[in-house]
C-alpha cells in the first residue's frame, strides 16, 4: 500500500515538474531580456538623502527594473513597459512553440493590460487558430526509439579490445546521434511522454484505470517517445570514450563529466541528456509541452554515474571493478553519492525527463522465475526508486517481456502491477507497436544502434537514412548477434 501511495503521487509530481520547467524557461527569457534592457534602458539612481530622483547616463550602473522600483519607487517608464510586454510575449511564444496553446493564451489573458494590448490579443487569436488546425494523433501509431550510452570518442571505444564488439552492436556515437536528431526534427518528429499517450485516473473509490490521452499536433508533425537504457556509466566503461556521470553545472544545467584520453576531467554535452536539452533550447518545437525522454535505470552499480548500490556501503558481494574502485577511493562516502544522485535526478525531472526501472540487475524477465523477479524488483524499489522519486514505468532489459504479443496476464504481470507499474516497454522492430488496456499501456521500442543501422537500415527508413548517418569510425562488419 505504501508503494502504491508513492506511485499515486507520481502524476502530481509530474504536474509540479512541468510547472517548474515552465518557470525555468520563463526565467531564462527574463534573463535574456534583462541583457537587452541593459542596452535599451538608461539606469536610474536615487539620491537617498534628498529623495530627489536623478536620471543616470548610459554609462551608469545597470540594474533590473524590479531593483529600481524597490529602491526608488519610480513608476515604470514606457521603455520598461515595452520590455515587460516583450518578455510576456516571448514566454507565450515559447509555450505555443511547444504546442501548449492553452497555457500560452492564459498567460496573455491574465495580464492586466491584455484588454488594451492589441498585440497580445492578436497573438492569442493566432495561438487559438493554430490549435484548431491541429490533428489528434492516434496513440497506436506513436513510435518509440531508444539508445544506450553514447560514444563520445570512437577511437577509444573501438580500440580492438574485448568490449569493442558489444559497443559496435548496441551503442551509437555522439556524431550519429546528433545527425539522427537533426534529421528527425526536420521530418517533423516531436518528443512526447508516455503520459501524453495515456494517463492513470483514480476515481473516488480509489480504482485506477488507464485512459487514452490526446496528442494534438499541427499537420506535418508526428510524435515519438525517446528513451535511453543503462544510464549508470558502469565501471567497465571507464576509459572507453563515454561520459562518466551526469552533474548539475554552475549555471544549473545538466551536463556530463567526461574524462579525456589524457586524463583531464571536463564538463560538457557528451551523452543524450544534455544533447537533447541543448537541442530543445534551440528548437522548442521539438518538445511537446516540455517532454524530453525516459532514462531506464538498473541499480547494481548505481545510477547516473553515482555509486548507489548498497554493496558499496556494506562491502559485501562486491565484484572486481567495485573492489578496485573502493581501493582507489578510500574516502568514498555512500550517503554523499546517494544525495548527489538524488539532486541530479530531481533537477532532471523538473526539466521534463522521466525515469523507468530497467530491473535492478538487468535481468531477463521472460526467462527468470517469479521469485527472482520479486527479489530483483524489491532491490530496485529500495535502492533506486527513492533516488529518482518513484516511477510507474518499467522498460525491460534485453528487449525481453513477461509474455508474447498476447494481452498481459499471469503471476509476473500481477506482481509488477501490484508494485505500481502501469507502463511497460519491450523491444520491437516494427514502426510502432502499442497495446492499450484499461490497466496498462505496453509499447515496443526501436534500437537505433550499430547493429540495426548496419544489418537492417530499411527498418529505420521512416526516421532517417542510415547510410548518411553511419559513423565511418565504426569497424565493419558490425558483429552479428547471437
| 9-33: pLDDT as tens digits | 444 444 444 444 455 445 444 444 4
pLDDT of residue 482: 76
Contact 284, 21 (CB under 8 A): no
Query: How many other CB atoms sit within 10 Å of the CB of residue 469?
Result: 22
List Cβ<8 Å contacts ≥24 apart for 95-100.
95/22, 96/127, 96/130, 97/284, 97/285, 98/284, 98/285, 98/287, 98/288, 98/289, 98/290, 99/134, 99/190, 99/216, 99/217, 99/218, 99/285, 99/288, 99/289, 100/289, 100/290
Written as nine digits, the cell of 443 is: 509499447
Interhelix angle for 118-133 vs 78-97, to 10°? Answer: 0
DSSP state of 369: -
Give the Cα separation of 243 and 304 in Å (integer).
Answer: 10
| 302-332: pLDDT as tens digits | 999 999 999 999 999 899 999 999 999 999 9
Structure-model confidence comparison of residues 204 and 146, the more confident one: 146
Written as nine digits, the cell of 19 is: 510547472
Averaged over 447-459, what is the pLDDT?
A: 97
| Helices of type H across 98-193 | 101-109, 118-133, 154-157, 164-170, 174-186
| 461-472: pLDDT as tens digits | 999 999 999 999
Minimum mean pLDDT among 67-76, 236-245, 285-294, 349-358: which range?
67-76
Contact 206, 335 (CB under 8 A): no
| 86-112: pLDDT as tens digits | 689 999 999 999 999 999 999 999 999
For the chain, what percent of residues have pLDDT higher than 90? 79
Helix (H) or strand (E) holding 424: strand 423-425
pLDDT of residue 391 exceeding 50: yes
Query: How many other CB atoms sit within 10 Å of the CB of residue 40?
Result: 12
pLDDT of residue 32: 42
Give me the phi and psi of 316, to 5 degrees please.
-115, 145
38 burial (CB, 10 Å; 0-12 / 13-18 / 19+) is middle
User: 239-275 b/e with 16+ CB inside 10 Å = b?
Assistant: ebbbbbbbbeeeeebbbbbbbeeeeeeeeebbbbbbb
Contacts of 45 (CB under 8 A, 6+ apart): 54, 56, 60, 61, 72
State the DSSP string of 289-335.
TT---EEEE--SS-BTTB---THHHH--S--HHHHHHHHH-TT--HH
| 119-141: pLDDT as tens digits | 999 999 999 999 999 999 999 99
pLDDT of residue 140: 96
| pLDDT, mean over the chain | 86
Reported confidence tier of residue 56, pLDDT bands at 50, 70, 90: very low
Reported confidence tier of residue 85, pLDDT bands at 50, 70, 90: low
Give the Cα separation of 325 and 112 in Å (integer).
Answer: 59
Written as nine digits, the cell of 326 is: 573502493
- Between CA 70 and CA 77, with CA 74 as vertex, the angle to 5 degrees is 120
pLDDT of residue 1: 35
Give the Cα separation of 354 and 156 in Å (integer).
Answer: 30
| 154-194: pLDDT as tens digits | 999 999 999 999 999 999 999 999 999 999 999 999 999 99
pLDDT of residue 478 exceeding 50: yes
How distant, in Å, are the alpha carbons of 211, 264, 357, 443, 460 from that of 435?
13, 47, 19, 6, 21
pLDDT of residue 436 exceeding 90: yes
- Pairing mode, if any, of strands 143-147 and 254-259? unpaired
pLDDT of residue 206: 86
Residues in the chain: 482
Give the Cα separation of 211 and 436 in Å (integer).
Answer: 9
Averaged over 243-255, what is the pLDDT?
A: 97
For the chain, what percent of residues have pLDDT higher than 70? 82
pLDDT of residue 329: 95
| Overall pTM > 0.75 | yes
Amino acid at each position: 500500500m505504501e508503494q502504491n501511495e508513492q506511485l499515486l503521487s507520481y502524476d502530481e509530481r509530474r504536474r509540479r515538474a512541468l510547472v517548474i520547467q515552465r518557470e525555468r524557461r520563463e526565467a531564462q527569457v527574463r534573463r535574456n531580456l534583462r541583457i537587452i534592457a541593459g542596452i535599451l534602458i538608461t539606469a536610474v539612481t536615487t539620491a537617498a538623502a534628498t529623495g530627489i530622483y536623478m536620471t543616470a547616463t548610459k554609462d551608469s550602473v545597470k540594474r533590473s527594473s524590479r531593483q529600481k522600483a524597490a529602491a526608488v519607487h519610480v513608476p515604470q517608464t514606457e521603455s520598461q513597459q515595452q520590455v515587460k510586454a516583450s518578455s510576456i510575449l516571448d514566454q507565450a511564444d515559447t509555450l505555443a512553440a511547444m504546442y501548449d496553446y492553452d497555457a500560452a493564451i492564459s498567460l496573455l489573458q491574465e495580464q492586466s493590460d491584455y484588454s488594451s494590448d492589441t498585440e497580445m490579443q492578436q497573438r492569442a487569436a493566432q495561438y487559438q487558430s493554430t490549435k484548431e488546425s491541429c490533428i489528434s494523433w492516434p496513440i497506436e501509431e506513436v513510435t518509440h526509439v531508444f539508445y544506450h550510452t553514447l560514444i563520445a570518442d570512437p577511437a577509444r571505444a573501438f580500440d580492438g579490445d574485448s568490449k569493442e564488439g558489444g559497443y559496435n552492436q548496441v551503442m551509437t556515437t555522439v556524431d550519429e546521434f546528433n545527425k539522427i536528431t537533426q534529421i528527425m526534427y526536420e521530418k517533423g518528429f516531436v518528443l512526447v511522454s508516455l503520459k501524453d499517450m495515456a494517463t492513470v485516473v483514480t476515481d473516488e473509490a480509489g480504482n485506477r484505470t488507464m485512459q487514452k490521452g490526446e496528442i494534438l499536433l499541427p499537420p506535418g508533425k508526428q510524435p515519438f517517445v525517446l528513451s535511453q537504457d543503462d544510464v549508470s556509466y558502469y565501471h567497465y566503461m571507464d576509459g572507453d570514450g563515454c561520459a562518466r556521470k551526469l552533474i548539475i553545472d554552475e549555471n544549473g544545467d545538466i551536463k556530463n563529466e567526461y574524462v579525456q584520453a589524457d586524463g583531464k576531467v571536463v564538463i560538457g554535452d557528451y551523452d543524450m541528456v544534455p544533447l537533447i536539452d541543448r537541442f530543445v533550447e534551440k528548437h522548442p518545437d521539438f518538445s511537446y509541452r516540455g517532454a524530453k525522454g525516459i532514462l531506464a535505470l538498473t541499480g547494481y552499480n548505481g545510477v547516473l554515474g553515482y555509486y548507489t548500490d548498497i554493496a558499496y556501503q556494506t562491502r559485501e558481494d562486491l565484484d572486481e571493478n567495485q573492489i578496485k574502485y573502493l581501493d582507489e577511493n578510500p574516502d568514498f562516502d555512500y550517503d554523499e553519492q546517494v544525495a548527489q544522485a538524488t539532486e541530479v535526478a530531481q533537477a532532471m525531472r523538473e526539466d521534463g525527463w522521466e525515469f523507468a526501472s530497467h530491473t535492478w540487475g538487468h535481468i531477463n524477465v521472460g526467462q527468470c522465475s517469479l521469485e527472482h523477479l520479486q527479489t530483483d524488483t524489491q532491490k530496485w524499489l529500495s535502492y533506486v526508486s527513492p533516488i529518482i522519486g518513484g516511477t510507474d514505468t518499467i522498460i525491460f532489459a534485453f528487449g525481453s517481456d513477461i509474455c508474447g504479443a498476447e494481452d498481459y496476464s499471469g503471476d509476473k504481470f500481477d506482481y509488477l502491477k501490484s508494485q505500481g507499474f502501469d507502463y511497460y516497454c519491450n523491444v520491437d522492430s516494427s514502426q510502432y507497436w502499442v497495446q492499450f488496456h484499461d490497466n496498462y499501456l505496453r509499447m515496443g521500442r526501436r534500437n537505433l544502434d550499430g547493429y540495426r543501422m548496419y544489418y537492417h537500415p530499411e527498418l529505420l527508413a521512416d526516421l532517417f537514412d542510415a547510410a548518411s548517418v553511419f559513423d565511418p569510425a565504426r569497424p565493419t562488419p558490425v558483429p552479428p548477434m547471437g
